[in-house]
Structure 1
Amino acid sequence: MNKSKLLVMLVAALALTDAVFAQQGKPKTDPKTKDNLQEKSGNVAEEDIEVLDVEAYKPKPVDTTQGLAIIGFGSCNKVNLPQLWADVNANGPNLWVWLGDIIYADTSDMKALAAHYKRLKTNPEYKKMRSKAQVIGVYDDHDYGINDGCKDYPFKKGAKKCLMDFLDVPMNSPLRKREGAYQSYTFGSGNQRIKIIVMDTRYFRDPLEPDPTKQRRYIPNMDGTMLGEAQWKWLENELRNSKANLNILCSSVQVLSDEHPHEKWGNFPNQRKRLLQLIAQTKPKNLLILSGDRHMTEVSKMELQGLSYPLYDFTSSGMTHVRSGTSEPNKFRVGDMIVKKNFGILKIYWVNDKPVVTMQARGPKNELYQEITVKY
């Protein structure tokens, strides 16, 4: 074969590869086919899925002995679009927390899901970030495998396994062995410990019914669960027994903002009420919520009865793409709602063992959009 023919074949192969990844934003599994998927597969056993080639899987436990001064977080990241990792790296995070939609796969093919993770994990700037910062996190719907997915998704065990492999979670980790991807870590020592609590709002969540009036996306589910009872008990224990002086509660969807029609804790009003009551009753020291999903960034603030400090929900979403609308009601918002590609940064220092947290929303070229400092 001459060189010219070989070159033509190579160009064609590369074009085909890009075309495949360009489809990642389009769901391959329509929600209407959910029943067919269940009949076809039931729950896919984790051991049946070979995904350990996710960029040289290297199991490594999270090192919680180090303190945290800078935490980065983000969500909603399409791997076929320009990435923000060089800008993230400019901030020097000690820890990166994924709040879902790490990739956009929307597929029941676990090998395809793993391939998307691999494309991200082989990004040079992302690799640079991973070499200096630890990475933890959870999926949302598009990396779970189906838009607005819930406990009924038949491939959820496979989706969890793909996430665990992507995060390099050791095979003997308790996180691998239990249902769901919820997790917690306490970093640092003494009176400057920081606890990160990551909830799983997909694996156990009950379904939502579309609103036939189209006035909102879903009819509120008054009786369903967001977390499932096992995760609720775990969460209560994590909050009640926390020894940290700063607690960060991570949710893939917003907790405080509840006037918009999209996915949120407010779609399960009694579950949202239960979460807020649990925070007030357990009284963890200096709790801050991080959330994603919304393709914009904002900070919400609530004066929660029974809590001695204000409760903040810092939303950062849309690392590679954003929503169309530039405004929506949120009675808890402080500062601005910013509809630009973004990631979140927490800068933490201590005054007499009390945390001072600066919340920064940043974007391309590391532009600082908004900064809010909380002194606990």
Structure 2
Amino acid sequence: MLTSRLRRRSRFQLLEKLAISVSLLACVGCLGYLFQLSASFFDSPLPDPDVSLIRPHYPGLDQYDSSREEEVESEFTNLKLQDELSDTGTTFVDSQQLEDGRSESESLSKIRHDNEPISRVAFGSCTSRRAIRQPIWSQGIIASAPQAWIWAGDIAYMDWPDVNCKANPDHFQCNCSRDWLHVNRQTCLAGDVPHAREKLEVQLQNPDYKEFVRYMCPNMSSGPQDLALCSKPILGTWDDHDYNWQDGDKRLPTKEEQKHLFLDAFGVPSESPRRIKDRGIYWKHTLNEGIQGKEIDVILLDERFDRDSKPCEIRREFCKLVAGPDPRKYKHEWCKDFLSGGTDGRGSCCSKDERIWAGWCKLNPQLGDDELWEAACNPASKMYGIPGLEIDTSSGAPFRSGLTLNSKNGEGVLCEVLGVQQRAWLQDELYKSRAPLKLIVSGSPVFNNPEDFVCGKALKWRPAVNCSCFDDYDCYRPAQMNLLHLMAHAPGCVVVLTGDFHFSDIKVLQPGKKSYSDAYNSFHLPRPVYQVMASGLTTDTAQKVTCDGYRVDKLGFRPGGECAFVSGPAFGMIEIDWDAPEQLVKLQVRDEFGEVQLESTLKLDTCSTG
């Protein structure tokens, strides 16, 4: 995509060549011709380099318009999934190849090598479902002077319609046949790539976000187009809405197209491994590379591309008793597929955790020293879920199939969030890293609230139905425990950056006997795991809410108490004091004005709180 400046420059060059080539004797005639030619060039409308496809209207005030809210019947009674609706999107940064063959990480570190070490990394998630102003970029984020920015998911709500489907049920964006992907009129656009492109472009064209990009990338007009190579890098991964399917998993039919669309928005080079077919967008960037003892590894996880369907046991009762019997329910078609659909007609739900973790492993504890048992049953082991493990369909026992890491036919022995290839990659990157600080960017919270909650109200003919998780790692317990142990045993200190839930908080999972240690198998962790959730950059996604329901931390993760969270627009900030003897790291949640609302400090030399 050429900018207006480049186009004008090329046109001036053409005029100069024409002027030089004419005879001096015909100068007057040529000048008349050139005047007409230049007039035709500059009178014709030139495309605004920052506008493509859509010119949205942005209301002057960033106010939540409740009249536009679609009253979606959620599968839960108190769930954040009830508040989904919007508009969004704009200009794509052109993909470009790196001329010298360097990796993206190498190029990023090269740009920062001669500058002061990065010590202020901001991050956030969940923009807006509607085309509204986003003042947090200027009055909060730019004002806080970040040296890098990380997207933790939902840069745009690409699966959301442009209209209020409740008020316009016959609108083409709201009128579709229901199935497991399009569960109701509000989700008719899930997987629709052209619509996703428009929504993304609206967000990228948002005037407040454009101001932020200009601040981070002042060299954008003449320098590299890869946002990771800006003087203040912009990095990121996706969650469900920028994956283009709410609560989506690996079954999205258009996930390859969606992947390229997302990477285009960041200007990821066309030859990047992230664009390889059948591979997710996971990646590692190293900030301050070459400055020994001050490196920051930014590890971007992809938790959608290879995610298995939800495990059978976490929604079976809900589907059988609540949504399955009633065609009017929001999740009715999804539940039909969950219980009795899929490729074999036995349900699309993932049965591996139930068959192996809660089945074979519990029945065979005497095999604790066996390598096969270790690989299939011990999430704390480095061998857990290694490539080549399969489930015998007749006996239900695990066995070694001989498949390699690159095999795509293996079912594996656990319900995956990352997938076997990404898990192996992550383990390798974490254990070979010498960065004292590792930022793991996860679209889904890695630990959240392991307590049951009511997801189906009690009726006269049945009791209330409980569920144990939303759409995060709490639904995938073996995968969750494996990730927690992997992070806690890695060299250096690990901080998870996440979003998704439309409020913000800081949590710490501590070793030793805690109220949650059994649920997370965390008693023997060698060090804490820190998690900062910054979710909701506008009043559309982050409304003022009270401390109740799933927002209450009953188990003691929050250092500031059970109601220590921020509602309303917010973002996260990681501040590192490299000159302090202990190299102090401040984990912060800041409000829309850049004021620190929550803060915890850890020491890099011990990974303990200060």
TM-score, length of structure 2 as denominator length: 0.51
User: What corresponds to 1:93 in structure 2?
Assistant: 146
- Residue equivalent to 2:434: 243
| Alpha-carbon displacement from aligned partner over 1:296-349 (angstroms, at most 9, x marks no partner) | 011111123555542211111011222655333432122212222211111112
Cα distance between partner residues in 2 of 1:201 and 1:141: 9
What runs of 5+ residues in structure 1 fail to find an aligned partner? 1-14, 32-52
- Separation in 2 of the partners of 1:173 and 1:193? 23
Aligned equivalent of 1:287, options 491, 494, 503? 494
Mapping 1:1-376, distance limit 5 Å: 54-57=91-94, 59=96, 61=104, 63-65=108-110, 66=112, 67-78=117-128, 80-83=131-134, 84-86=136-138, 87-106=140-159, 107=189, 108-131=191-214, 132=216, 133-177=232-276, 179-188=279-288, 189-208=291-310, 210=315, 211-212=318-319, 222=353, 223-259=414-450, 261-281=469-489, 283-304=490-511, 307-320=525-538, 321-322=541-542, 324=545, 326-327=547-548, 328-330=551-553, 331=555, 332-335=557-560, 336-351=564-579, 354-376=582-604
3-state SS of paired residue (1:334): coil
Please give the per-residue CA displacement for 1:145-190, whole angstroms capped at 9, x wherever unaligned: 1110000111111111111000110111122225111111111121
Q: 1:183 corresponds to which letter in structure 2?
A: W
- Tell me how far apart the structure 2 counterparts of residues 123 and 81 of structure 1 sit (CA, whole Å): 8
Q: Is the 8 A contact 1:292 1:317 kept in 2?
A: yes
Q: What amino acid maps onto 1:272 in structure 2?
A: Q
Answer whether contact 1:88 1:366 (CA < 8 A) is retained: yes
Identity over aligned pairs, percent = 26
Contact preservation (8 Å) 1:191, 1:353: no
Structure 1 residues 236, 54: CA separation in 2 closer, same or farther (over 3 Å shift)? same
Partner AA of 1:177 in structure 2: I
Q: Which runs of 5+ in 2 are unaligned?
A: 1-53, 59-64, 76-89, 99-103, 160-188, 217-231, 324-330, 336-348, 354-413, 452-468, 512-522, 605-610
Note the C-alpha offset of 1:352.
6.0
Query: Aligned AA for 1:92?
Result: A
Q: Is the partner of 2:593 in helix, strand or coil?
A: helix
Contact 1:54/1:165, CA 8 A, preserved across alignment? no
- Whose strand proportion is higher, 1 or 2? 1
Q: Count how many residue pairs are aligned between Structure 1 and Structure 2.
A: 336
Change over 3 Å in CA distance of 1:16–1:190 after alignment to 2: closer
* Change in CA separation of 1:348 and 1:56 when aligned onto 2, cut-off 3 Å: same
Retained in 2: the 8 A contact 1:206–1:224? yes
> What's the CA shift string for 1:218-241, capped at 9, x where partnerless?
999734111110000000001110
SS of match in other structure, 1:63? helix
Question: 1:303 is aligned with what amino acid?
Answer: Q
Residue pair 2:506, 2:598 contacting (<8 A) in 1 also: no
**Aligned residues of 2:571 and 2:590 also touching (Cα < 8 A):** yes
Partner in structure 1 of residue 83 of structure 2: none
8 Å contact from structure 2 (residues 488, 527) kept in 1: no
Larger Rg: 2
What TM-score does the superposition give when structure 1 sets the normalisation length? 0.80
Contact 1:76 1:319 (C-alpha < 8 Å) held by counterparts: yes
Contact 2:158 2:200 in 1 (8 A): no
For structure 1, which segment, 358-367 or 206-215, has the greater mean C-alpha deviation from structure 2 after superposition? 206-215
Per-residue CA shift, 1:42-95, capped at 9, x if unaligned? xxxxxxxxxxx9445253746123232111111111151331211211111111
| TM-aligned CA distance change 1:375 to 1:172, over 3 Å | same
CA distance in 2, matches of 1:147, 1:168: 24
